[in-house]
Amino acid sequence: MKRPRNIKTYCKSCHKHTTHEIERVKKKKANERKWGQRRFRRVTAGYGGFPRSKPEGREKPTTRIFLRYRCKECKKASQRPCIRAKKFEFTG
């Protein structure tokens, strides 16, 4: 899927249509103090192999792509629901 780097769309903080710059959101590092991460570390710790078996079958054909839209006037960013695509690149 090809997307332009800049598009004109509605800005919630400006309350009008303005030019937005699109950027791809990268996954953050997991916080070690969160309960889910602590539970994961506890389960996977100790002697032996990885406790969870790998899922059967093949990988999914598409990946989730998260995009952040940043207004060029007020510099506020908003994120829309993710899209799925095999390949993703910016044009222009």
Mean pLDDT, all residues of the chain: 90
The pLDDT value recorded for residue 18 is 97
Tokens of 65: 């792509």
The pLDDT value recorded for residue 11 is 95
Position 73 pLDDT exceeds 80? yes
Q: Which fold has domain 1-27+60-92?
A: Nuclear Transport Factor 2; Chain: A, (3.10.450)
More confident residue, 45 or 33: 33
What is this structure's pTM? Answer: 0.74
Instruction: Read off the pLDDT of residues 47-62 as tens digits, 9 standing for 90 and up.
Output: 666 677 777 788 889 9
- Residues in contact with 19: Cβ distance below 8 Å, sequence separation at least 6, in sequence order: 6, 7, 8, 71, 72, 73
